[in-house]
Structure 1
Amino acid sequence: MAPPRIFLSHSSQCTPEAGCDCRDYLHALRAHLEDLGCEPVLDSGFLNGGDVWYGKVLTELKKCHGMIILLSPHALDSYYVMVEAIVADAERAATGDAFVVLPVTLPGVRRRQLPDSRWLGKLNLGRFDMADWQKRYGPGKPPAKIARALRPLIERQGSLPYPEVTDFLVDRISDLSDAALEHTAEILGVATFAYARSHSRYAVAQGLLVERPVEHVGDSCAMRRAVKHLLPKVRSRDHRQEIVDLVVPFARVPKEGADQLRLMGKAAGDRVALLESTLKETADMYVRRASEAPDSWLVGKPAPRHDAVDFVEGVIAEVRGCVLDAIGFGMDHDDDTLRRLLARHEAESGPFTIVLYQPPDTELLDRLLLAFPRLLFVFAHEQAAVARRRKGSVRLAGLTPGQEQDMVITHWEFRRLAAAGQ
């Protein structure tokens, strides 16, 4: 996983020419964060001449997991440090304190000066757990409190769990006007900033990807209201379809079940998932959610004939046909070549997943795993969870019948809505 990104808020007026050595502390802090396993983010790394400051900075902040506010004498009079601190505080509140905000006083600043600061005085930074970087230690010895404050964040790997999917969704909702974004954010209960459209798109995208289970078929939820509001306002039909195909699985498939399937996809041994379901679309939703990428894992759905003389041989032939059509492009290959093709596909795009709509059978499983050791098998059936388990198989956390029906109905409904219009 990517290291936590920590934004360093500081005054650009702190330069040797201005008669201070605050830059030395900034560079020392940057190196200290890298040593801790974090990715420090400075405005000099993404701002170019002529860029709109609000949009660029606030978008980067949305991708971060925390902020350290360097309180130098110049920072006390910095409007930009104030705005960054306001955004950081909003992120902290919106994420339930998952976003870390740590003010650090530098030499020349005392905590008692903060209430009298022109820009920072009204922020009440004293309510945060602060660190004091004392001059006697110099830049070479950052306060130990910095490492202590960031340790929980480093352990849980930040508050943006699906960066690729979030970025993809942000692009797909780029058509939305400021008013549409604000109303969608209000429905989802996420904080935005009227003067930072890029930041608002990230807030809305994250809000759309929150898991929102329902109890019964027909129950309302914020995701449904938000999607119904925004979908007609997206110009591209393809983008509308992609939004639906991402948002519904993330909102409805249990994270526990998706995590089980994703970890199984990374396993080296036999990979067999058992999913209790009555609707064929449910397995697709689980795979889509477990992929955690804009492009879902490749899925094959063989349809073996139950009236065949040798059912097991028929299933094996159907599975082989699915694989050859998908990654062999219809050409016949021997077993070694097929294994190499599957290994390469998995390394580049994730595990090739075969969904079988039937309860697992011991003989069938043994034969399938022997013939296709690099496939991920999902047995999706109403009896899958109660069937006799083979060693190494995993029962996925499931949905109640009502939750499963509501998920599929919602997906059908929104796909139809997405197809409407131009």
Structure 2
Amino acid sequence: MSIAIEKIRRDFQILDQIVNDEPLVYLDNAATTQKPKQVLDVLRHYYEQDNANVHRGVHTLAERATAEYEASRDKLKDFINANSRKEVLFTRGTTTGLNWVAKFAEQLLQPGDEIVISIMEHHANIIPWQQAAAKTGAVLKFAYLKDGELDMADLVDKMTDQTKFVSITHVSNVLGVINPVKEIAKLAHDHGALMVVDGAQSAPHMAIDVQDLDCDFFTLSGHKMAGPTGIGVLYGKEALLNQMDPIEFGGEMIDFVYEQTATWTELPWKFEAGTPNIADAIGLGAAVDYLTELGMANIHQHEQELIDYVMPKLREIDGLTIYGPKDNHRRGGVISFNIDGLHPHDVATALDMEGVAVRAGHHCAQPLINYLDVSATARASFYIYNTFADCDKLVEAITLTKEFFKHGTV
């Protein structure tokens, strides 16, 4: 193991429990990750010691809350290597960030302009673009797959000088494939298009450098990276954020309000109307501290070790279909699979009876599931606290599930 796994597991008390008379093996991390004691302690401290609204108060609690909230923004700036703290906007999560960018696109798109995405996108990176295309007369184009990965030749073919936005997931939440978004960003810019990256499944698992990627926008969700729910970040290049209209209006985001008009305050607060999610923003900063101390390179290596360990064992199981790239080093810690003759919901229920928590369904990626010509998949996804023993338990539980449905007994 590349990290001190037993020490890490002690930080996540939720993992130390029995589910259906079996020790819990939590493998639903692509949906949401567990939260370490260090994050929970920060949330409790805020509510017990510093609870106050931010930015406008001059009393001690308000000043402390504001300092902690803005310090979290600085931590996120460093975490993704943004050029300026003005480029870090707090949102409810990745979905909100992608909706904001698509709404900005509506300011720029004209009939006949093109938006390029891939068939593997999460609904949060499809539906906002469908809406933008419908409202502006733009054309939404999809790039498809080859050998379980993004077909780069098809992507190149789909881009033209009419392409104005390219929006691609960094890591697929179904296939687990790591897409070459830096290369895609260059292709997009060569056509004069803006590059949007859905980083929900990458930011928790690998080092992110938005300046090196040269993406124009990047989104992430706190709850997928050991942080609280209901908080995330939209990164955007400062010049573009200055062009964007605010999405919500009210307190905090204003400069001056007159009877008939108003002006907006500067970045990043221009986009943060009303009382923000103060506690969870501070909690996300604590999660960033936790992950940074572990080292994102170490986290990525740890998950790669788990994938390298478990994939050969899974591939030995007769009747098990695994989706995504064949090369383990081209995928993150996400494994979607099906067992011949069994519905994924039945598989997930059976695994749960063995204490193994996985996800089953279309994973908010129905176009991809339809493209794969399946009704759904089961999905196991790994994180920093998972072990080789968890991998073995997954393999054992799948084998027992096959036997149960074949013979009615284990």
TM range (shorter): under 0.3
> Highest CA radius of gyration, 1 or 2?
1
Higher helix proportion (structure 1 or 2)? 1
Higher strand proportion (structure 1 or 2)? 2
Normalising by structure 1, we get a TM-score of 0.25
Normalising by structure 2, we get a TM-score of 0.26
